[in-house]
Structure 1
Amino acid sequence: MSNVQGYFDPRFESVRDIFAAQQQDPQARGSALCVTIGGETVLDLWQGVVDKDNQQVWEQDSLVNVFSCTKPLGAVAILQQVEAGKLGLDTPLADVWPEFAQAGKAQITLRQVLSHQSGLSAVTETLPPEALFDWNVMSSALAAQRPWWAPGEAHGYAPVTYAWLVGEPLRRVSDTRPGQYIQEHICRPLGMDFFVGVPDQDLPRLAHLSRLRNQYGDEYARALFASMGKPEGMGFKAFGNPSSMMVSSNERHWQQAEILSANGTGNARSLARFWQVLAHGGKLGEAHLLDSELVDEMRREHVQGMDRTLLAPTRFGLGVMLEQPYEGGGFGMGPQAYGHPGAGGCLGFCDPETQVGFGYVTNAMGPYVLMDPRALALSREVYQCLRSVD
């Protein structure tokens, strides 16, 4: 267990032991865990390696792509614009993005986009690989896209298109590139070592991503992967159009793009810090993310039921997943917990009841749709420790 670095409160030693035991898996590479309770950090741990040759150890300041754990930062960024009165949750998005009104989208609202009800989970037209890294091409493709279903009548997760559905309105009302906005208004004020678009000088700190072999996930993962085998279907296009979505995560143009749905790069400490503030209703000490009324709206259930993209039952607030109604789909804490997993196993969330902020990251990607069993084992043990203290 000597491989584990960092700090742990003795009350949570069993969590540290589980974290260390996970490194015994022959396919394990690197990971980090950070947990806050109230204003206090009780776990800040890291272990393993960052490079593909397993030679370079994971350091205190190593960074990794956290995929969809980025989405709540985009949600907070656009909700800050709502707080400032620059756009409304329930007014047409086309008010600030006129081109968006075409193809039956004139009445789609920011609320529908944030809760995955807009019917814009994927772009139908096959786009060239380089389109993913051209902001204007992606924004224009979504402006032209006809919804896959009548907006508001169902929900289907938007794994990648969310970046432009949220980011283009953000860019227009803030007059700032989305990655820059998130850096200036969320990451820097909170002291988060986190980027949506990694600067040149920070690229050497990035961990190399790899996939766990011979693991097939649960029934929902298998159904999703089967749907992705149909090239004209929404599942395939949501995750694979442009095709560069599936193959670029270790490449510099992905690492430095500003895809606020999927390419946030940071560490467990940064995720825990973000969620620590939200666990306290959006304000903690000098840190202010959002007014508590908007945080309450963010974590209120907006949709629940079978997700047309993920082919699993999901519950969403605004830009966040809520506790899910099936075994292994939730956060492993109280029923009010909310946050977001990232492809491959990363997880960031809070539980307002216990005032927990939680961040877990790894560069060994598993095949699960929502929660990864590694992160879930850790969060469940944190909860057990809290209950035994009480």
Structure 2
Amino acid sequence: MTEPHGTHEPRFASVHDALRRNLASGAELGASLVVDIDGEVVLDLWGGFRDEARTTPWDRDTITNVWSTTKTVVSLAALMLVDRGELDVHAPVARYWPEFAANGKEHVEVRHLLSHTSGVSGLEQPAALEGLYDWDKTTARLAAQAPWWAPGTASGYHATNFGHLAGEVIRRVSGKTVKQFVAEEIAGPLDADFRIGAAEADWPRIAPIVPPPPAQFDPEPGSVMARTLSGPAVDAAIANTAAWRHADIGAVNGHGNARSVARMLSALALGGTVGGVRLLGPDTIDLVFAEQANGTDLGLGIPLRWGIGYALSRPDAVPWVPDGKVCFWGGWGGSVILTDLDRRLTISYVMNKMAPGIIGSDRSTTYVDAIYRALR
């Protein structure tokens, strides 16, 4: 089962070979990889196994938990409301969510939530991961907190609470939970096999997550990084539980594959319309590239450049993302979604065996590099 299935144009033979090698070596357990150019899928590959025992093949319709790649879909949902004139990224969050003005947050703007610069990058202690399953309680706690740094002055990755922050704004504006909005306004119209959480009917085709090696973080006690990563801390194995799959955690519990993620996020590369379905207009897409922060991220401790909803290219810090009108993000363990507007290109990679590291992995770097070499 080390030979990838699917299709690819001949010029992407090196990408196919890279995936085959990683499957053969065991670096990959199961994975899917998609390249879309100008609305045409020119590479759609999958292979390997869903389970560590290597008894169940990863097939065309296998899905898995994509961790923070989920955030890119929630950002898309928020931008759709902006495009409709129902949400203003420069307005205070409190215009839509009045309780959020508490404790000095009355001037925090919607763009600060979407660019991880709000100062609210996690929950104050006590913070248990299971607490995120209670939407009303979690959003009430976030609304009551004071920011951990001056909002708008720096980014601090909103690791586990991004979906509750942006999602509560989406709920207040649209009347729909973020899970509902994604299902009814994005995945449904695009026939994209993606949802926040996972329906029980789909559980048999989920590839369980294989956790990464233990992280080598040693943040200074009391720092934003320490508070973020413990507010709450996440054990990757929880992604394989029923409670996790039932929950609405728009930061980290989306389920899909490379094909479905590419289908939705290609909207950014294609001027906002996918398969005749209009999600965004060009002016709204331009907002993505309005730089909001550029420096060491307080939550992750690495240099990042943030636009509205997405990270922007910064080759000195993330060398596998090229310069230009490119936005991206990914999930813990290595999944990646990248949209290159200059080339009308979307790259999506999803896997179940998590790699060490924060953004991308050796595997995702190999695939993205091979794709760009093929394009040259």
Identify the TM-score tier after normalising by the shorter chain: over 0.9
Whether 1:356 aligns to 2:345 is: yes
> For 1:160 and 1:298, how far apart are their aligned partners in 2?
21
| Paired positions, count | 376
Where does residue 312 of structure 2 map in the other structure? 322
Structure 1's 243 and 12: CA in aligned 2 closer, same or farther, altered over 3 A?
A: closer
Q: When the two structures are superposed, what TM-score results if normalisation uses the length of structure 2?
A: 0.95
| Counterpart contact for 2:2–2:24, Cα < 8 Å | no
Where does residue 101 of structure 1 map in the other structure? 101
Which stretch of structure 1 is more off in the superposition, 331-340 or 370-379? 331-340
CA deviation digits over 1:270-292, x for unaligned, max 9?
A: 12212322111212441211111
SS class of match (2:104): coil
Where does residue 305 of structure 1 map in the other structure? 295
Where does residue 286 of structure 2 map in the other structure? 296
CA deviation digits over 1:30-65, x for unaligned, max 9?
A: 111011111221111111111232211101000011
Structure 1's 234 and 247: CA in aligned 2 closer, same or farther, altered over 3 A?
A: farther
Q: When the two structures are superposed, what TM-score results if normalisation uses the length of structure 1?
A: 0.91
Deviation at 1:299, TM superposition (A): 2.5
Identity rate, percent: 35
Structure 1 residues 6-45: aligned runs within 5 Å? 6-45=6-45
> For 2:273 and 2:307, how far apart are their aligned partners in 1?
19
Over 4 Å off, 4+ runs: 243-247
Where does residue 218 of structure 2 map in the other structure? 226
> For 2:236 and 2:27, how far apart are their aligned partners in 1?
21
Aligned residue identity for 1:348 = I
SS class of match (2:59): coil
Where does residue 219 of structure 1 map in the other structure? none
> For 1:169 and 1:266, how far apart are their aligned partners in 2?
24
CA deviation digits over 1:281-308, x for unaligned, max 9?
A: 2124412111110111113322111111
Structure 1's 116 and 243: CA in aligned 2 closer, same or farther, altered over 3 A?
A: closer
> For 1:275 and 1:95, how far apart are their aligned partners in 2?
28
> For 1:302 and 1:104, how far apart are their aligned partners in 2?
20
Structure 1 residues 1-390: aligned runs within 5 Å? 3-213=3-213, 222=216, 225-227=217-219, 230=221, 232-243=222-233, 246-326=236-316, 329-387=318-376
Unaligned runs of 5+ in 2: none
Unaligned runs of 5+ in 1: 217-221
Aligned residue identity for 2:252 = A
Structure 1's 258 and 330: CA in aligned 2 closer, same or farther, altered over 3 A?
A: farther
CA deviation digits over 1:289-338, x for unaligned, max 9?
A: 111101111133221111111111000111111112425x1444443221
| Counterpart contact for 2:156–2:224, Cα < 8 Å | no
| Counterpart contact for 1:66–1:361, Cα < 8 Å | yes
CA deviation digits over 1:358-390, x for unaligned, max 9?
A: 110111101111121211111111111111xxx
| Counterpart contact for 1:132–1:244, Cα < 8 Å | no
Aligned residue identity for 1:317 = G
| Counterpart contact for 1:277–1:289, Cα < 8 Å | yes
Aligned residue identity for 1:340 = W
| Counterpart contact for 1:333–1:380, Cα < 8 Å | no
CA deviation digits over 1:163-217, x for unaligned, max 9?
A: 1110011111111111011111111111210010211111111111113448x7x
> For 1:312 and 1:129, how far apart are their aligned partners in 2?
24
Which stretch of structure 1 is more off in the superposition, 119-128 or 350-359? 119-128
> For 1:325 and 1:369, how far apart are their aligned partners in 2?
16
| Counterpart contact for 1:277–1:283, Cα < 8 Å | yes
Aligned residue identity for 1:6 = G
Aligned residue identity for 1:16 = H
